Structure 1
């Protein structure tokens, strides 16, 4: 699934995952107890109620909430420390811990470099990721 983590359109993500997983519309309609038109309307929505999104996660066996967590990690500078208030900052930027980079984040950033959308230096500056970490990801992918 190729996702723009900066501007998440959950309906498109659902539609793509359904296509990838080859989930039939009949199964989806039965699961949600809705008509096909209501399901297809969800594909057009930029956001959904969390209870509905949770049902989609279960049906598609995919954590759609992770998309939003990835957005927060990349664009809002949160970290997974026990004491978020005591997170280290240098020049106003949060210093992240190694273990917060998910597979999706790595793939997203590697794809930005490999498709020449951003340089390594731009990623270092925009997302505050160390140069060695980026190059390590590039070597692995």
Structure 2
């Protein structure tokens, strides 16, 4: 199954993970200090408050925030500060490398190419994946199949 990084429904993701782990509704309700209906309401939400999502991450031992990070890698426009080297203003917030690709992102991109949905050039241009990186993925992962 291919995950849709463009249209994230985090409540559905949380529900799926909770079901996969087989965690009881009683435990989930107690952990979140809410009713079963409150939990089902969270499952229906397309987005969740960060504090609530952080609690889900802890309970289910899964980093749901990475789903959003992968969305940014694939779909966020390149920032102007990266384009303009004259801007050397530093931030007190932590800085992260943008080009860290998970296996799910690699699989997503390769599936687009292998099924003919996108060409190699389209992937390079739309997702700003370096040409050498894409060709390494194609060689490494397509040779494994």
TM-score by length of 2: 0.74
Alpha-carbon contact 1:57-1:63 (below 8 Å) kept: yes
Which runs of 5 or more residues in structure 1 are unaligned? 90-96
TM-score by length of 1: 0.76
State the Cα distance separating 1:88 from its structure 2 match: 4.8
**CA gap 1:2/1:28 in 2 versus in 1, 3 angstroms:** farther
Structure 1 stretches of at least 4 aligned residues deviating more than 6 Å after TM superposition: none
Residues 58-94 of structure 1: per-residue CA shift (max 9 Å, x gap): 0111111111111112111458xxxx82x358xxxxx
Alpha-carbon contact 1:113-1:119 (below 8 Å) kept: yes
State the Cα distance separating 1:134 from its structure 2 match: 1.9
Determine the C-alpha separation between the residues in 2 that align with 1:51 and 1:132.
Answer: 39
Specify the SS of the correspondent of 1:6. Answer: coil
**CA gap 1:57/1:134 in 2 versus in 1, 3 angstroms:** same
Q: Which range moves more in the overlay, 98-107 or 122-131?
A: 98-107
Higher relative contact order (CA 8 A, sep 6+): 2
Q: How many residues align?
A: 129
Match of 1:61 in 2: 61
